[in-house]
Amino acid sequence: MDRLALILVIIGAINWLLVGLFRMDLVASIFGGTTTMLSRIVYSLIGLAGLYTITFLFRERTKVE
């Protein structure tokens, strides 16, 4: 679950980088526009993944030896 959340957050970060640099929304381009149901689902999954990864800040770290 953690890996999937991180992958989605990375996809979201790359998408925002493209929007900021080139005004290109990759998710919207792939899924047919910002208002299509599929794009909204992808945006929602990325947002939920972002909220989930906030919990990483409060987890205890384990030492790897």
Residue 64 in domain: no
- For the chain, what is the domain count? 1
Residue 35 in domain: yes
The DSSP 8-state label assigned to residue 61 in this structure reads P
pLDDT given for residue 60 in this prediction:
86
Residue 49 in domain: yes
Answer yes or no: are the C-beta atoms of 53 and 6 closer than 8 Å.
Answer: yes
- What's the pLDDT tens digit per position in 1-59? 999 999 999 999 999 999 999 999 999 999 999 999 999 999 999 999 999 999 999 98
pLDDT given for residue 35 in this prediction:
93
Residue 31 in domain: yes
Residue 6 in domain: yes
Q: What is the residue range of 36's domain? A: 2-56
Q: What is the pTM of this model?
A: 0.85
Residue 65 in domain: no
Residue 8 in domain: yes
Give residues with Cβ within 8 angstroms of 1, minimum separation 6: 52
Residue 27 in domain: yes
